[in-house]
Amino acid sequence: MPDNERYSRQMRFAPIGPAGQERLRNGFVVILGCGALGSGIVQNLGRAGVGRLRIVDRDVLEMSNLARQVLFEEEDVRRRLPKAVAAAERIRRINSEIQVESVVTEISPGNILQLIEGANVVADGTDNMEARFLINDACVKAGAPWVYGGALASSGMTMTVLPGRSPCLRCVLEELPDPQALRSCNEAGVLNTLTGIVSAIQSNEVIKLLTGAGEPNPGLLRLDVWTLEFNRSVVKRRADCPACALKRFDYLDAPPREAAFVRGRSQLELNPARPVKLDLAALACSLRQMGKVEYNDYLIHLTLPEAQLAIFQDGRVIIQGLTDVESARRLVRTCVPALA
């Protein structure tokens, strides 16, 4: 029996009401990326009683996440938990009535359609445009509404895409911007007040879509929390949009991502050449002679003099401290023979 006292204040808000609350309870939302925006969205939707959440994220928590990412605590960082797992644990403690699932993976052309299958709405909590173009392709193809959100320094943006009814991300931005031209949060920084507001607006869009009440954001909303400028511009569907008009899904149909790529300054990620499932306990045992090992159900954290490695059960390895892919490959082959 749902605890309606819990939701009484939002049910008294007329556009939601008891019927809207029931729709939230029956809703299934997939949150792709659980950093600052994603954890804000998970918190808002979980507290509001959205019945089923799937949280997808590729990363392990770091201390620098705590300033913005509202679901996490110091203890989660000490336990070296993946963000998706820590977020799921926390929101289950906040609301035990909802179903929460965590998936620790990198979203890719190979898995995204499966990850969003059956979702009523998909929420963007990623931190890069390449992932958003992939989300756009997958959601347009699957006909799933999705809510884009971006935040950098003090300015943010959000847009709601209703496939077939409203403009999609590629109607607004046809090509992926040059990565050099895009500053990242690592370089430009980001304010927690901004990610709070953008994730709140994204959550509210999801709530409107699930309840069917209110009008979804019809265009592009830009805001700056420092200068307090809010600007809503109307965008139109493009008759020649590659994705929603021509049904050409360049990002979804792209070849799988290179096995190794640079994630940021002095951070590399290596993906296994073939699917594997590592026995983390056995591997942790053998790695103890090489360096300091910490491990949990999801990953091994290995500290070596030259680098730190996060080795995930699916064979993905994040390497901190090396910038050269070949040295990283050599190191990973030495540490994890199963990945050679």
In whole angstroms, how close is the CB of 171 to Zn ion at the nearest point? 4
Q: Shortest approach of Zn ion to residue 152 CB, angstroms?
A: 23
Minimal distance in Å, beta carbon 230 to Zn ion?
24
Note whether 276 and 314 are within 8 A (CB): yes
Instruction: Kindly tell me the burial class for residue 165, based on how many C-beta atoms sit within 10 Å of its own C-beta (0-12, 13-18, 19 or more).
Output: exposed
d(CA 308, CA 326): 16
Smaller CB separation from Zn ion, 220 or 241? 241
> What are phi and psi for residue 160, nearest 5 degrees?
-110, 125
- Compute the least distance from the CB of residue 205 to Zn ion, in Å: 18
For Zn ion, the binding residue among 168, 190, 201, 318 (CB under 5 A) is 168
Distance between CA atoms of residues 22 and 30, nearest Å = 18
The window from 76-84, 167-175, 276-284, 285-293 that contacts Zn ion (CB under 5 A) reads 167-175
Between 173 and 254, whose beta carbon lies closer to Zn ion? 173
48 is a site residue for Zn ion (CB under 5 A): no
- Edge-to-edge, what's the strand order for the sheet holding 220-224? 99-104, 52-57, 28-32, 121-124, 146-152, 155-161, 220-224, 229-233
Q: What's the min distance (Å) between Cβ of 145 and Zn ion?
A: 14
Contact by Cβ (8 Å): 136, 170: yes
Rounded to a whole number of angstroms, the minimum distance from the CB of residue 340 to Zn ion is 43
Q: Which residue has the tokens 């509202």?
A: 70
- Binding of Zn ion by 171 (CB under 5 A): yes
What is the C-alpha separation between 194 and 191, in angstroms, rounded? 5
Q: Is 220 in the site for Zn ion (CB under 5 A)?
A: no
Q: Does 201 bind Zn ion (CB under 5 A)?
A: no
Q: Are strands 28-32 and 260-264 parallel, antiparallel or unpaired?
A: unpaired
Single-letter residue type at 267: Q
Site residues for Zn ion, 229-248, by CB under 5 A, read 241, 243-244
168 vs 190, which CB is nearer to Zn ion? 168
Record the tokens describing residue 119, joined without a space.
């979702």
User: Which C-beta is closer to Zn ion: that of 46 or that of 149?
Assistant: 149
- Among residues 236 and 288, whose Cβ is nearest to Zn ion? 236
Nearer of residues 60 and 144 to Zn ion, judged by Cβ: 144
Q: How far apart are the first and last CA of the chain?
A: 52
Residues within the interface to Zn ion (CB under 5 A): 168, 170-171, 241, 243-244
